[in-house]
Structure 1
Amino acid sequence: MIYHGNRIKLKEGISQEQIEQALEIIHEQGRTIPAVKSYFVGREYGGAFEWNAFFVLEDLEAYEEYLNHPAHTASERFALPLLEKFEAYDITDDPDPGFGAEVARLQRRHYAADPELVRLVSALPSHTGSSALPDLAPEV
């Protein structure tokens, strides 16, 4: 099982309407992507971020389906320009020591297929974690 987490801090000056739209589009991922077993979106307290979203995925095949689903790419397109800080991370019970490398490969493939996404991610003031823009030179 994979718990894919996203930590979000919005830019100053984002309107309440934009916040509500961003949260709705994140919820839409959980409701419409078949690979998502369950999800949670909520406010973060006590940390450097404002919002968190967790998506529960069965395995790496489901992770790839999640990454490439139109609801996920629509969320990226809408939300990334609103963010000051973004961190993605993955928690798994998969004992395979190659798990992290496989996640990195899936992320590289996701970025390599979408130059506009690379532009949006590159424009973020802060982006860390498992979905941080990897070097696209390695084999995808």
Structure 2
Amino acid sequence: MIYHGIRMKLRDDVTPEQVDEALECLKAQGRDIPAVKAFVFGTEYGGDYDWSAVFALEDLDGYGAYLAHPAHTRSERVGFPLMARFESFDICDTPDPGLGARIAELQRRNYAGSPRLASLVAGLDAHAGSSAVPHGGG
């Protein structure tokens, strides 16, 4: 199982309506993407991020299906313009020294396949973690 986590710090000018829409997108990711086996999201406490989420994905095939699913791409299109900072990370309960590189390749292909997404990510003030592959900015 791969646990894909995200952390988001919103820009100061984000409206409550925009937050509601972005959170509905996160719910849809967990609810509508068949590759997601379980998920949790909510307010982050004890850190410097506003919202966090974790999606449980069975394997790399599921991870790739998650990235490509329309609910995920919609969430990125809606959410990235609202964020000042974004961080992603992955946790796996099976030791595999090559897993990080394969996840990075999935993320790289995700950005390469969508110039619009790559542009949104490049516009973030800060972007770190497993999804922060070279993409021409940010």
Q: Does the alignment pair 1:25 with 2:29?
A: no
C-alpha distance in 2, partners of 1:130/1:107?
8
Q: Counterpart amino acid of 1:40?
A: V
Which residue of structure 1 aligns with residue 133 of structure 2? 133
For residues 36-67 of structure 1, what are the alpha-carbon distances to aligned partners after superposition, in whole Å with 9 as ceiling and x for unaligned?
00100111111010110110000111000000
C-alpha distance in 2, partners of 1:106/1:94?
18
Conserved 8 A contact 2:122-2:135: no
Which residue of structure 1 aligns with residue 109 of structure 2? 109
Conserved 8 A contact 1:118-1:133: no
Residue 135 of structure 1 and its aligned partner are, at CA, apart by 5.3
TM alignment of 1:9-24, pairs within 5 A: 9-24=9-24
TM-score, normalization by structure 1: 0.94
Structure 2: runs of 5+ lacking an equivalent = none
C-alpha distance in 1, partners of 2:42/2:9?
12
Which residue of structure 2 aligns with residue 44 of structure 1? 44
TM-score, normalization by structure 2: 0.95
C-alpha distance in 2, partners of 1:6/1:80?
12
Structure 1: runs of 5+ lacking an equivalent = none
Q: Does the alignment pair 1:60 with 2:60?
A: yes
Which residue of structure 2 aligns with residue 123 of structure 1? 123
**Identity among equivalent pairs (%):** 55
C-alpha distance in 2, partners of 1:125/1:132?
12
Conserved 8 A contact 2:11-2:82: yes
Which residue of structure 2 aligns with residue 98 of structure 1? 98
Which residue of structure 1 aligns with residue 2 of structure 2? 2
Q: Counterpart amino acid of 1:101?
A: A
CA RMSD of aligned residues (A): 1.1
Kindly report structure 1 stretches of 4+ aligned residues shifted beyond 3 Å: none
